[in-house]
Amino acid sequence: MIRNYDVLVIGSGSAGLTLALHLESKLKIAVLAKRNLEEGASLYAQGGISVVLDKKDSIQSHIEDTTRTGVGLCYQETVQFTVEQAKSAIDWLIQEGTIFTRDKSTKTHYHLTQEGGHSHRRVIHAADATGWVVETKLAELVKQRPNIELFENHIAIDLLTQHRLGSYAKNNQCLGAYVFNTTTNKVDTFSARYVVIATGGAGKAYLYTSNPDVCTGDGIAMGWRAGCRVANMEFIQFHPTCLYHPNAKSFLITEALRGEGGQLLLPDGHSFMHLFDERKELAPRDIVARAIDHQMKRLGIDHVYLSISHKPESFIRQNFPTIYTRCLEFGIDITKDPIPVVPAAHYTCGGLMTNLYGQTDLPNLYAIGETAHTGLHGANRMASNSLLECLVFARSAASHINRNIIHMPQPENLPLWDESQVIDSEEEVVVAHNWDELRRFMWDYVGIVRTVKRLERAKHRIDLLMREISDYYSNFCITHDLIELRNLATVADLIILSALDRKESRGLHYILDYPNQAKVAKDTILIPKDYYATHYSRNE
Ligand code: FAD
Ligand code: SIN
């Protein structure tokens, strides 16, 4: 069936929901979620949101810290815009009823914690469950809006554009999307005057990740297929401290634990971060993750330890209740025991290129949140700047849409999904196998420390996989897993290509063949039409 909306928002994390709540109430809005409304990286955010609230802190200092952490690739205009908008974005959340942890002992209204790269206490939070508090509040608000229709268990497959429909009109634009309902196994056509991609990051391209299952880079892959440029995909951030336990799938130990005095230790109890950076445990993440990786490889160990047990029990339980409870379920009492930790893929710094309003290269298509490349993070994202970016760009994109929608007609005569050429698959095992293979070679060959040889090996594997997946996609009915696998493969390919393009080490991209930083900092920008030209001539 065909459904008509003013705005289609693909994704219901902090970015998508904040945008929906800022669109005018007279607009008819659809919000899609792959699983339940709240599920996504936003829900699991722990540390908090960076914002200048302390009198001793300044906008300039937040700008400088973000820029220094991004190692020469942050866009100054974007950094300034984001940092300046932070306070009003947080004020809005508070005004809507979000409850952050208060600081009773100082004059500051809210307790501010500290994380890597920040030179001040600047991270507003709700104990160690900031994402849960923010995301559930946004979900509660969105459910009260009669103009917003929520579609849980709906996964967007591809964007509809004039070019896709066979019109080679010069003014190609986005018209809507094909969307798979995973409850009924039917595909609907969503027509919209504006489409917003807010599908989050792509951590699931790696075997070990802090990300929940929905983070398969769908928006980046859909935007790329629709003709949008992507930038800086090689900068995958590995969070230094995820819980190491066979049954603890994707559980993060927040950087705020280090901000409050947590120390990284080797199995013999010695600390080591002073050997790598004078900021020790509070150096930016790329440095801490590499230091841990180095120690693990040097000593042949599976993990290092993070300890906060020197702090009073009451302090630990009050500030880190989620981590305390979760670790206790695995027999680790963090008030007494050190926590076994390893780095894991955490954040996609690159993405679909956008401007300050979240507009992509494709008219009528916006991208916000982790899916987008706004230029805020450069070669390494500073902690707690991501939720901030989600909020600021959601608000900016919403006001741009509110201002311009009056000029935009509703797309008409969009086609239905055509399933006449495909049959039900009897080989689901192929999808599961390819999925495992991809995540494993991305971890082994495109991880924290890279080499050209390993990247070439990964490129060879991904080319084979992409051919197999494309073949499978053309012949069999789609499923949730197949849609995600196709997107993961596209995103993995973009990561590998970008990593091969960068002939230097910078920020999160560390490659042994080019250990030094180039004098001039340049973005890696991939352009679909160049890629397809090369790809097809290579195959011919
Ligand atoms: P998400 O919150 O990931 O939401 C993505 C949405 O898109 C989901 O609703 C999903 O269902 C939907 N979706 C995806 N694909 C499709 C599709 N094809 N069709 C339909 N819907 C789709 N950042 C901070 O600033 N501070 C922190 O303290 C912090 N802690 C973190 C802790 C963890 C464990 C993790 C994983 C990340 C953390 N981050 C933190 C990063 C931050 O949480 C994310 O970058 C941010 O939440 C991304 O928000 P988003 O709205 O872009 O995407
Ligand atoms: C954390 O709490 O350590 C995660 C913060 C972030 O990713 O910004």
Of 245, 250, 403, 215, residue with least CA distance to 337:
245
Residue 445 falls within a domain, yes or no? yes
* Domain-located, residue 382: yes
Please identify, among 345, 372, 389, the residue that sits at the C-terminal boundary of a domain.
Answer: 345
Mutation to probe ligand 2, out of 44, 384, 387 (largest number of atoms < 8 A from CB): 384
Is 256 a pocket residue for ligand 2 (Cβ < 6 Å)?
Answer: yes
Out of 121, 193, 285, 381, pick the active-site residue.
285
CA of 522 to the centre of ligand 2 (A): 26
Answer whether residue 413 is part of any domain: no
Nearest ligand 2 atom, CA 381: 8
> 539: CA distance to ligand 1 center in Å?
36
Ligand 2 contact via 281 beta carbon (within 6 Å): no
Counting atoms of ligand 2 from 1, which one is nearest the CA of 115? 3
pLDDT digits (tens, 9 = 90+) for 450-488: 999 999 999 999 999 999 999 989 888 899 999 999 999
| Three-class SS state of 247 | coil
216 and 357: one domain?
A: yes
Tens of pLDDT, residues 29-41 = 999 999 999 999 9
Range of the domain at 110: 2-234+349-406
* Residue 285 annotated among the catalytic residues of the structure: yes
Q: Is 237 in the pocket of ligand 2 (CB under 6 A)?
A: no
Is the pLDDT assigned to residue 537 strictly greater than 70? no
Nearest CA to ligand 1 atom 26: 384
Task: Kindly indicate the confidence band of residue 503, based on its pLDDT and cuts at 50, 70 and 90.
Answer: very high
- Angle (CA) 13 203 232, round 5°: 95
Which ligand is nearest the CA of 254, by number? 2
* Mean pLDDT on 50-65: 97
Per the prediction, the chain carries an average pLDDT of: 95
Residue 175 Cα to ligand 2 midpoint, Å, equals 36
Is residue 411 packed enough to be buried (19+ CB in 10 Å), middle (13-18) or exposed (0-12)? buried
**For 287-341, how does the pLDDT look when each residue is reduced to its tens digit (9 = 90+)?**
999 999 999 999 999 999 999 999 999 999 999 999 999 999 999 999 999 999 9
- Residue 384's alpha-carbon distances to 48, 90, 125, 219, in angstroms, are 6, 13, 10, 22
CA of 48 to the centre of ligand 2 (A): 7
pLDDT at 104: 76
CA of 161 to the centre of ligand 2 (A): 36
Nearest to 3 by CA among 223, 178, 259, 247: 178
Residue 456 is part of a domain; what is its CATH number? 1.20.58.100
Instruction: Specify the residue with its C-alpha closest to ligand 2, atom 7.
Output: 383
Copy the structure tokens of residue 523.
């973005």
Ligand nearest to the CA of 486: 1
13 CA to middle of ligand 1, Å? 6
Between the CA of residue 117 and those of 68, 103, 148, 518, what are the distances in Å? 8, 22, 38, 22
Ligand (nearest to CA of 344): 1
Token code pair at residue 304: 């290092």
Handedness of CA 396, 134, 238, 479 (dihedral sign): negative
**Counting atoms of ligand 1 from 1, which one is nearest the CA of 11?**
7
Please list, in sequence order, all residues whose beta carbon lies within 8 angstroms of the beta carbon of residue 523, skipping any fewer than 6 positions away.
73, 231, 232
Of all ligands present, the nearest one to the C-alpha of 285 is 2
Tokens standing for 23?
A: 């669109």
- Rounded CA separation 352/373 (Å): 5
Q: How many residues does the chain have?
A: 540
Q: Please choose from 46, 101, 281, 387 the residue to mutate so as to test ligand 2's pocket, defined by most ligand atoms within 8 A of CB.
A: 46
- Identify whether residues 305 and 436 lie together within a single domain: no
Single-letter residue type at 227: G
Is 80 exceeded by the pLDDT of residue 108? Answer: no
φ, ψ dihedrals at 124, nearest 5°: -80, 145
Q: Identify whether residues 396 and 489 lie together within a single domain.
A: no
Token pair for 179: 């969307």
Summarize pLDDT for 343-387 with one digit per residue, the tens.
999 999 999 999 999 999 999 999 999 999 999 999 999 999 999
Answer yes or no: do 302 and 336 share one domain. yes
- What is the sign, positive or negative, of the torsion defined by CA atoms of 271, 274, 280, 285? negative
400-448 pLDDT, tens per residue?
999 999 989 999 889 999 888 888 877 788 899 999 999 999 999 999 9
Q: Is 417 a member of any domain?
A: no
Residue finishing a domain among 345, 374, 391: 345
How large is the average pLDDT for residues 486-508? 98
Residues 19 and 158 grouped into a single domain: yes
Predicted structure pTM score: 0.96
Percent above pLDDT 70 for the chain: 98
Q: Is 378 left (phi over 0), alpha (psi -120 to 50) or beta?
A: left
Opening angle at CA 307, ends 302 and 310, nearest 5: 160
Beta carbon of 526 within 6 Å of any ligand 2 atom: no
Distance 201 CA to ligand 1 centre (A): 6
Q: Tell me, using a 6 A CB cutoff, whether residue 361 lines ligand 2.
A: no
Give residue 153's pLDDT. 98
DSSP string, 114-174: --TT-SS--EE-STT-HHHHHHHHHHHHHHT-TTEEEETTEEEEEEEETTTTT---SS--E
Count the Cβ atoms, other than its own, within 10 Å of residue 325.
11
Q: What is the DSSP letter of 4?
A: E
Give the distance (Å) from ligand 1 centre to CA of residue 368: 11
Residue 135 domain-assigned (yes or no) = yes
40 lines ligand 2 (CB under 6 A): no
Q: How many helices (H) and strands (E) does the chain have?
A: 15, 18
Q: Please list, in sequence order, all residues whose beta carbon lies within 8 angstroms of the beta carbon of residue 312, skipping any fewer than 6 positions away.
A: none
Residue owning the nearest CA to atom 46 of ligand 1: 42
**Residue where one domain finishes, among candidates 406, 421, 450:** 406
Relative to the CA of 383, which ligand 2 atom is closest? 8
- Take atom 32 of ligand 1 and give the residue whose Cα is closest: 45
Instruction: Say whether both 359 and 487 belong to one domain.
Output: no
Q: Which contiguous run of DSSP H or E holds residue 404?
A: helix 385-404
Residue bearing tokens 């699931």: 204
Question: Is residue 112 within 8 Å of 122, Cβ to Cβ?
Answer: yes
Residue 126 lies in a domain: yes
Check if 210 has its Cβ closer than 6 Å to any atom of ligand 2.
no
- Whether residues 61 and 148 fall in one domain: yes
How many domains does the structure of the chain reveal?
3
CA-nearest residue, atom 1 of ligand 2: 254
Ligand 1 closest atom vs CA 35: 11
The values of phi and psi at residue 435, to 5°, are: -60, -50
Question: Are residues 12 and 148 located together in one domain of the fold?
Answer: yes
Q: Domain of 379: which CATH number?
A: 3.50.50.60
Q: What is the pLDDT of residues 433-443, one digit of tens each?
A: 999 999 999 99
Kindly state whether residue 412 falls inside one of the protein's structural domains: no
pLDDT at position 49 is 98
Please tell me whether residues 37 and 157 are part of one structural domain.
yes
The rounded Å distance from CA 133 to ligand 2 centre is 15
Choose among 78, 356, 369: nearest CA to 223. Answer: 369
Do 168 and 109 share a domain, yes or no? yes
Residue 473 counted as domain residue: yes
- What is the DSSP secondary-structure string of 321-368? HHHHHHHHHTT--TTTSPEEEEEEEEEE--EEE--TT-B-SSTTEEE-
- Under DSSP, the state recorded for 417 is P
Give residues (CB < 6 A) around ligand 1: 10-16, 32-35, 39-42, 44-49, 130-131, 154-156, 198-201, 210-211, 214-215, 218, 252, 347, 369-371, 384-387, 390
Question: Which two structure tokens, joined as six digits, stand for 138?
Answer: 């946004």
46 lines ligand 2 (CB under 6 A): yes
Give the distance (Å) from ligand 1 centre to CA of residue 369. Answer: 8
Q: State whether 356 and 208 are in the same domain.
A: yes
Nearest CA to ligand 1 atom 25: 384
31 shares its domain with 113: yes
**Lookup: tokens for 374:** 């706004």
Q: Which tens digits make up the pLDDT trace of 247-256?
A: 888 799 999 9
DSSP-derived 3-state class of residue 18:
helix
Q: What is the CATH number of the domain that holds 305?
A: 3.90.700.10
Query: Would you list the DSSP string of 254-306?
Result: -HHHHHTT-EEE-TTS-B-GGGT-TTGGGS-HHHHHHHHHHHHHHHT-S-EEE
